[in-house]
Amino acid sequence: MSWYRNTVWFVKGLREYTRGGYESASKHFNPADVEVDVGGRSFLVTGANSGIGKATAKEIARRGGTVHLVCRNKERAEVAKEEIVTETGNQNIFLHIVDISNPKEIWKFAEKFRNEHKLNVLINNAGCMVNNRELTEDGLEKNFATNTLGTYIMTTALVPLLEKAADARVITVSSGGMLVQKLNISDLQSGNGPFDGIMVYAQNKRQQVVLTEQWAKAHRNIHFSVMHPGWADTPAVRSSMPDFYERMKNSLRTEAQGADTILWLAVSAEATKLPSGLFFQDRQPVPTHLPLAYTHSPPEDEEKLMELLEEFSQKFKSVSPG
């Protein structure tokens, strides 16, 4: 049935995930939702030097927020920071160089950040789609290390800081690709069988949905959400999915259109009127499973995922102070 689910997802995507889908959905948006002043509030955006992450950071900066850019590449990050400051006039833009695929770096960064800054909103945007199975220096499969474990550690490490904040929020950027994947806790690092980078990425994105639902239950004072930005024209799409890009490039959303729902979830009062833990597309909560799909998993598997990720994360926490 996987071919059927993939076909359904692709056809659904053609209709909803493209620029045309955004333009249709945006007719029902209330512009006032995001026409807000967020001066005095602090936002952290991972993967903020390009694409949707940079577009999100720029829009928050325009609204007066203090923005912490967490990026891997120092040169590109400095260029992005300068662009954001120049275009928005907001000087409260701070740069942190962190590789989200390196759990030791994340722990070290988060511990330092907790001691030096406040935080109202965490936006987990950093991600990767590596099409061949690659291991990090820690022996972790790179997609898992970045998309799942990196997101898990960054969030759990900063939850104590967020719990001190007013109107705290965590937004994780997922993908509609997760709709074709059932949570698989037996092979988190994709070491069994043929390696399909697109499906591994989709599995990671399913894991992010489960993480968000579990965090929402555990931390009632923080509003958690996960979202699909649609298919946007970003450097990551061009490099990791070149065939898809060539086929769809005339229909892809702009980076700003892809970032719209992230911005809405980060700054609007309307977003937090909805329950914590939901999956969003174009400012609306949407189902996390296709009709009649075999992608539902038992609660014990979802709880086990959290246990496994906690075990992974603690292995790397012990190498840093605190």
Catalytic residue among 152, 201, 245, 294: 201
Q: What is the pLDDT of residue 1?
A: 43
Amino acid, res. 266: A
Q: How far apart are CA 142 and CA 111, in angstroms?
A: 23
Look over the chain and give the mean of its residue pLDDT values, rounded to a whole number: 92
91: enclosing H helix or E strand:
none
Our measurement of the distance from residue 195's CA atom to the centroid of its chain's CA atoms, rounded to an integer in Å, reads 23
The partner residues of 169 in beta bridges, in order of sequence, read 121, 223
- Mean pLDDT across 93-111: 97
Which residues does 50 contact at the CB level (< 8 Å), separation at least 6?
76, 80, 234, 235, 236
Q: How big is the chain, counted in residues?
A: 322
More confident residue, 180 or 261: 261
Q: How far apart are CA 159 and CA 134, in angstroms?
A: 30
Q: How far apart are CA 173 and CA 126, in angstroms?
A: 8
For the ranges 6-15, 130-139, 153-162, the lowest mean pLDDT is seen at 6-15
What CATH number does domain 3-315 carry, 3.40.190.10, 3.10.150.10, 3.40.50.720, 3.40.190.170?
A: 3.40.50.720
Whether the CA torsion 67, 149, 223, 265 is positive or negative: it is positive
Residue with tokens 């911005």: 263
Q: Above pLDDT 70, what percent of the chain?
A: 90
Any idea where the domains of the chain sit in the sequence? 3-315
Band (51; pLDDT cuts 50, 70, 90): very high
On the question of pLDDT at 119 being above 70, the answer is: yes
Task: Assess whether 22 carries a catalytic annotation.
Answer: no
More confident residue, 258 or 3: 258
Nearest to 113 by CA among 147, 154, 63: 154
Contact 140, 106 (CB under 8 A): no
Q: Above pLDDT 90, what percent of the chain?
A: 80
What backbone torsions phi and psi does residue 15 show, to the nearest 5 degrees?
-85, -40
On the question of pLDDT at 129 being above 70, the answer is: yes
- Mean pLDDT across 249-254: 81
On the question of pLDDT at 319 being above 50, the answer is: no
